[in-house]
Each structure stands twice: as C-alpha cells, then as structure tokens.
C-alpha cells in the first residue's frame, strides 16, 4: 500500500511539472439568478498554474471575502491510457444588492508570461431577501464552508437566564454555552460579563472539565459545552443588563477539492485521509448578546417586622445544650438556617437573652454547595452565654422570616421559648474570669499565696562581692546596651512589616513557586482538577500579591494594565495573559490531558519568571 502511494505521488508530481500549457481555459462560474441581499460564491477556474491574478469589476455586488485560492489535480487511466488535469481556483463570496441586472467583468491571470482573461458574467437580482441557495431538488440549504469561509452558525456562544423577571434578592442562573459544528481550539477569554448590580457566585468549581454534549438545532447537530454557569442575586430593583461576553478561538475548516467528473477508478484512493490535507484555520471572534433583567421589588403586603432581606426557600432550627445550670456556668445556644437561596447574605436572627446573662459575639459557620440548580447550603450561629445570678429565666422565642419566590409569600419560623433554671454557684462573681480575646474559654484563677521557701541558700565567702567588680561593670554595660539593640531591631522589623504591600510583593514569587510545586505533584498523579486549581491560584495569586490587590478585583484587563504601568514589555505581558487564558480553557480544548498539563505548566513557569525579572 505504501509503495503504491509513493508511486502515485511521484507520478502526480512528474505530471504537474511536465504539464503542457496548450488549450488554457479561464472560466468564471456563478449563479445567474439571485435574490436581494443573498450571499453567493463566484469561482474562477484555471486549468494551468497561473499568477498575478487581477480581480474583476463586480459592478453592484458587494465583495465579502476573497479571493480564496485552492488547487486540485486529477489523474485517470482509461483503456490503458493516462489522462491528467490541473485546476487552480479563485473564489469570492459576494452579496447581491438591489433588484436589477449586474454585469461582472472578466478577471485576468498570467500564465507563462501571457495574460489570460475569463468570460464575463451577467447576474439577475430579483426581489426578496435571504442568504440561502436552492438545490436541484427544490430544497434550500445554507452555504457550506467548503471554501474556507466560517458561517455565522458554525460556532457561536449564547447566554441563557432561567428567569428574566426575578424579585430583589432572588437567585437566578446564567448559563454560558458554546455551540460548534467544527473543531475549535485556542479559546481565549477576551471579556467576561461584569455582573453590575448582582452578587454572583460561580457554579463551575466542582467540574474537572467542561461537559460536552450534542444538540440538534434546525436539523443540524452541534457539539455544545457550558463554559460558565453563575448564580446571580440582584441587589437592586429595575432594569439590569448582563453585558456581552467575548471569546476568541481558532476554527478548523476542511476545504474540499472540486468534484471530479467522469468515471475515475482511483477516486477512492485519492479520497484517503493521507492525501486530504486541505484544512484551513480561521480565527473566530464570538460575542454573546446582552441580556436585560427586570428586577421586581419585594411586596410590602404582609411583610413581617423582623424581615431582614432573606429570599429563597429556607428551613430553621435551634437548640440549647442545657436548661439547668449554676451561676457562672456557660450554656450554648445554636441556630441553623438551611435551604436554597442567598445563604451567604443571610443576617443574624435577633436573640434576646435575659439581662442577667453575659453574652458574646456568636461564632458563624457558613457552608454552601454550588450545583447546576443554584446555591444551597446552611449557616449556623453559635452563642455563648453565662448567667451571673441564680434564678429562673426565659429566652424569648427566636424568629426568622423570609420571602419565598416560589409561593410569592412571606414565611416565618419561630423557635420555642427556653426556660433556664440557674442555681447558686460556689463563691462569688470574682471567682470567674474569661479570655476577653476569644470570649469562649472560661478558666478559674489558681492560688495566689506562695509557700515559704525551706531550701537554704548556698553560703559565700565574706568580702567576695559582685558589686564593684570588673565583671559587674561589664555586665551592667551589656545589660544597658541590650535594650537599645532590641529597640533598633524591633523598629526596623516593625517598619518592614508595616508595609503590607512590600511584604506581599517580596513573597509573591516564593508563594507562586510553592503553588506550582504542588500543581506538579497533581500533574504527576494525573489529578487534572487539582492541577488546574493550583495553577490558577498560583498565577492569579502572584499578580494579586505583586500589586497588592484582592483576587476578586482581578481580571485580564487589570493584569494587562498593571503590567503596562510597570513598563513591562508587550511580549512578556502577552505571554503572561496567554498563560492565564490557557489555564482557564485548556480543559475544553481537544487533545491528551497530560500533554495539556505539561504545556500549561511550562507556560506558567516561563510567564512568572519573565514577569519577576521585568518587575525587579
């Protein structure tokens, strides 16, 4: 099989080199009748190897792209005789204008020093819009991308919101998806939506990679993937707009050769993928459409007095560890809120302890679970209280109110009243103290009277005194000097540590390297999720520490601005931003996962080293 392929390749090359230039034809091919606004293709075919192509006069047609050049060859054996052909094509995509007749002049090309002209075309434009072409069977189909032109529906991104008319504080889900009919790679996030007016939280954190699926749209199959999914909580009423997201990627289009005519016994051989190398890379800039959200105010009717802004579907529970204790003993009261909604934004329920109870700030624990349906979880408040006097006390019922957007009503929970019986404690209040910094640990003061020493001190010779000796003065000088040295050192350290940004800047490279070393371990074990998480923390954290800004304020634009302000070269800046983008999208691009991790790791190491050297 390999010998046959080598034979035919050699034969093909020889025939192309020795091809005669007799009977040269240069033909213009195009539709004769089109509709207003229709996009169609005009192709110029030359049966020789030409150059210096000159565009024709397209008259009233608008040229959208071209010329796109392609070549094809054909070898046939009929009754033992070989025939060969060679075709060079120049393709234009044009758009029809107003109804009428358009004259397309001849194009010209140079072959062996001679100028060859094509035939002119006469095209009739009829009323009616569209960008479709009709097959011989009468069915309409969209232009294919066989000429290397990327169509609008080949790859695009969308934003879908499950509720465009939410209540204030109600959770909605925004899903960003990419649809493609062609192979794509090198996804670069140029601009992500700024969720102005919303509190947002990503729902993609638990995904090791983007989940791909197929969908059939208008009879065509697409590969789709969710590139981002966000839970949004509107923080003000009225019209809020989700600005478009912008992504750049490379689309790989297969450009097919012109269809061969006649009975070719070797057609299947030359259709082998070994020969079919006509692939064109096209840069695609994708942009989603803006989404308008109309946020409703919460109803005022039946609004509880204790309502603090909780919106969702919640459950409430409370418990106390004991109701009988002695004075100066501690009790714990815990309140737990759980459900779906703005868990992290829930405020503290009001707890009214008796005036004889000493209370402290509660310990708050929040646990959220992002999923495809939104944010759910629980929030726990733990109170520590100490009754100082004996007696019978009551902790009034604790209430919690929230608005449920499903039922469009306010709901209210109430705990039971806790009756506390406090007995007389041993001693008085002065026997108890607490750690004011933690306000949780209770400890008792120990004995404060020491026993008389019974051990006899060792005796010394009479007249042998330390005072007045040389050692005494040396020791006195050292003792006097030590505080000044310590003060100087302490002042210097205090001055250095007071400059937080300088400390972070100094340690940024060290912390980033620690993150990358941890990512290296994940890479060796094949844990791609852990690897990408540590890589993202390492490179984003490096910029955050280097410029003393929080991670929440970071974006591609911020990184570029900060590096440019430090006079970092454009090449190093682009390499650093490219490394950030590759980390975010490497999981979606096709290919071997281990090779991706190796490439992403090396790019990040190089980007940080170059940035560190440029910022010194």
- Within this chain, do residues 180 and 84 fall inside the same structural domain, yes or no? no
Residue 115 domain-assigned?
A: yes
Same domain, 138 and 163: no
pLDDT attached to residue 503: 57
Query: Are 317 and 427 in a shared domain?
Result: yes
Residue 22, pLDDT score: 54
Residues 567 and 543 in one domain: yes
Report pLDDT digits (tens) over 471-480: 888 888 888 8
Collect contacts of 413-420 with beta carbons under 8 A, ≥24 apart. 413/315, 413/316, 415/316, 415/317, 415/318, 415/335, 418/320, 418/323, 418/333, 418/394, 419/323, 419/392, 419/393, 419/394, 420/323, 420/324, 420/325, 420/331, 420/354, 420/387, 420/392, 420/393, 420/394, 420/395
> Residue 44 and residue 28: Cα distance in Å, rounded?
4
Q: Tell which wins on pLDDT, 194 or 101.
A: 101
Domain boundary among 244, 269, 295: 295
Task: Report the pLDDT value the prediction gives residue 390, as an integer from 0 to 100.
Answer: 92
Point out the domain boundary residue: 270, 295, 320.
295
* C-beta of residue 307 within 8 angstroms of C-beta of residue 402: yes
Same domain, 273 and 341: no
Mean pLDDT score across all residues of the chain: 76
Q: Is residue 462 part of a domain?
A: no
For residues 455 and 357, the model is more confident at 357
Asked if residue 193 has pLDDT above 60, the reply is yes
Q: Which of 295, 322, 349 is the last residue of a domain?
A: 295
Higher pLDDT, 583 or 108: 108
The residue ranking higher by pLDDT, 497 or 385, is 385
Domain boundaries, position 76:
2-142
- With respect to residue 304, please indicate whether it lies within any of the assigned structural domains: no
**What pLDDT band is residue 380 in, cutting at 50, 70 and 90?**
very high
For position 24, which CATH number holds? 2.20.130
Q: pLDDT tens-digit profile of 318-377?
A: 999 999 999 989 999 999 999 998 888 888 788 889 998 988 889 999 988 888 788 889
- Does 333 share its domain with 264? no
Q: Tell me the average pLDDT across 94-106.
A: 86
Q: How many domains does the chain have?
A: 4
User: Within this chain, do residues 204 and 117 fall inside the same structural domain, yes or no?
Assistant: no
Q: In percent, how much of the chain has pLDDT > 90?
A: 16
Residue 419 maps to a domain: yes
- CATH classification of the domain holding 367: 2.60.40
Asked whether residue 62 is assigned to any structural domain, the reply reads yes
| One domain, residues 110 and 10 | yes
Indicate if 159 and 205 belong to the same structural domain. Answer: yes
Evaluate the omega torsion of the peptide bond into residue 546 and state whether it is cis, within 30 degrees of 0. no
Q: 202-221 pLDDT, tens per residue?
A: 887 655 466 778 887 765 77
Whether residue 463 is predicted with pLDDT greater than 70 in this model: the reply is no
Q: Is residue 455 part of a domain?
A: no
Q: Confirm whether pTM is higher than 0.75.
A: no
With DSSP H G I counted as helix, E B as strand and the rest as coil, what are the percentages for the chain, rounded to 5? 25, 40, 35
Indicate if 68 and 97 belong to the same structural domain: yes
User: Are residue 137 and residue 161 in the same domain, yes or no?
Assistant: no
Residue 149: inside a domain: no
Cβ contacts of residue 511 below 8 Å, gap of 6+?
538, 541, 542, 545
With respect to residue 451, please indicate whether it lies within any of the assigned structural domains. Answer: no
Name the residue with higher pLDDT: 212 or 161: 161
Looking at the structure, tell me whether residues 265 and 379 fall in a common domain.
Answer: no
pLDDT at 183 over 70: yes
pLDDT band at 240 (very low <50, low <70, confident <90, very high): very high
């Amino acid at each position: 099989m390999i010998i046959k392929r080598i034979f035919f390749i050699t034969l093909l090359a020889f025939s192309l080199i020795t091809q005669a230039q007799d009977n040269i034809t240069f033909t213009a091919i195009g539709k004769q009748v089109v509709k207003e606004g229709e996009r169609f293709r005009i192709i110029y075919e030359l049966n020789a190897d030409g150059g210096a192509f000159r565009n024709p006069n397209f008259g009233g047609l608008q040229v959208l792209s071209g010329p796109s050049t392609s070549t094809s060859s054909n070898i046939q054996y009929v009754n033992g005789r070989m025939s060969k052909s060679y075709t060079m094509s120049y393709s234009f995509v044009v758009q029809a204008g107003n109804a009428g007749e358009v004259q397309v002049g001849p194009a010209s090309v140079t072959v062996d020093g001679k100028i060859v002209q094509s035939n002119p075309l006469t095209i009739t434009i009829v009323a009616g819009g569209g960008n479709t072409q009709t097959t011989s069977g009468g069915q309409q189909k969209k232009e294919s991308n066989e000429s290397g032109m990327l169509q609008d529906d080949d790859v695009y991104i969308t934003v879908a919101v499950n509720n465009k008319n939410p209540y204030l504080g109600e959770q909605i889900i925004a899903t960003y998806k990419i649809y493609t009919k062609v192979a794509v790679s090198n996804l670069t996030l140029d601009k992500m939506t700024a969720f102005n007016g919303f509190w947002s939280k990503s729902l993609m954190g638990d995904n090791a990679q983007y989940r791909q699926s197929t969908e059939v749209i208008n009879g065509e199959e697409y590969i789709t993937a969710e590139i981002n999914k966000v839970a949004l909580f509107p923080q003000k009423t009225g019209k809020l707009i989700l600005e478009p997201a912008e992504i750049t990627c490379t689309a790989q289009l297969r450009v097919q050769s012109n269809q061969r005519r006649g009975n070719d016994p070797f057609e299947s051989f030359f259709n082998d993928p070994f020969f079919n190398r006509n692939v064109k890379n096209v840069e695609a800039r994708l942009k989603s459409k803006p989404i308008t959200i109309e946020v409703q105010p919460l109803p005022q009717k039946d609004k509880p007095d204790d309502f603090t802004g909780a919106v969702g579907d919640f459950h409430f529970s409370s418990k106390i560890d004991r109701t009988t204790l002695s004075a100066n003993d501690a009790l714990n009261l815990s309140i737990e809120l759980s459900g779906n909604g703005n868990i992290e934004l829930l405020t503290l329920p009001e707890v009214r302890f008796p005036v004889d109870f000493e209370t402290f700030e509660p310990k708050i624990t929040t646990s959220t679970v992002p999923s495809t349906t939104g944010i759910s979880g629980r929030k726990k408040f733990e109170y520590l209280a100490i009754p100082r006097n004996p007696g019978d006390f009551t902790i009034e019922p604790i209430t919690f109110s929230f608005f449920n957007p499903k039922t469009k009503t306010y709901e209210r929970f109430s705990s039971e009243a806790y009756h506390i019986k406090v007995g007389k404690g041993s001693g008085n209040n002065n026997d108890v103290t607490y750690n004011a910094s933690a306000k949780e640990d209770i400890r008792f003061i120990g004995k404060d009277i020491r026993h008389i020493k019974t051990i006899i001190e060792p005796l010394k010779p009479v007249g042998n005194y330390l005072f007045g000796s040389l050692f005494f003065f040396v020791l006195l000088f050292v003792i006097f000097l030590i505080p000044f040295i310590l003060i100087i050192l302490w002042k210097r350290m205090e001055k250095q540590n007071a400059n937080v940004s300088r400390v972070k800047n100094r340690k940024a490279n060290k912390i980033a390297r620690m993150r990358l070393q941890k990512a290296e371990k994940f890479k060796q074990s094949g844990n791609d999720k852990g690897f990408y998480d540590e890589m993202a923390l390492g490179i984003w954290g490096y910029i955050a520490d280097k410029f003393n800004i929080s991670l929440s304020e970071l974006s591609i634009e911020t990184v570029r601005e900060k590096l440019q302000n430090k006079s970092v070269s454009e090449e190093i800046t682009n390499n650093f931003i490219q490394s950030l983008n590759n980390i975010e999208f490497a999981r979606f691009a096709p290919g071997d996962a281990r090779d991706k991790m190796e490439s992403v790791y090396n790019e990040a190491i190089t980007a940080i080293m170059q940035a560190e050297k440029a910022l010194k």
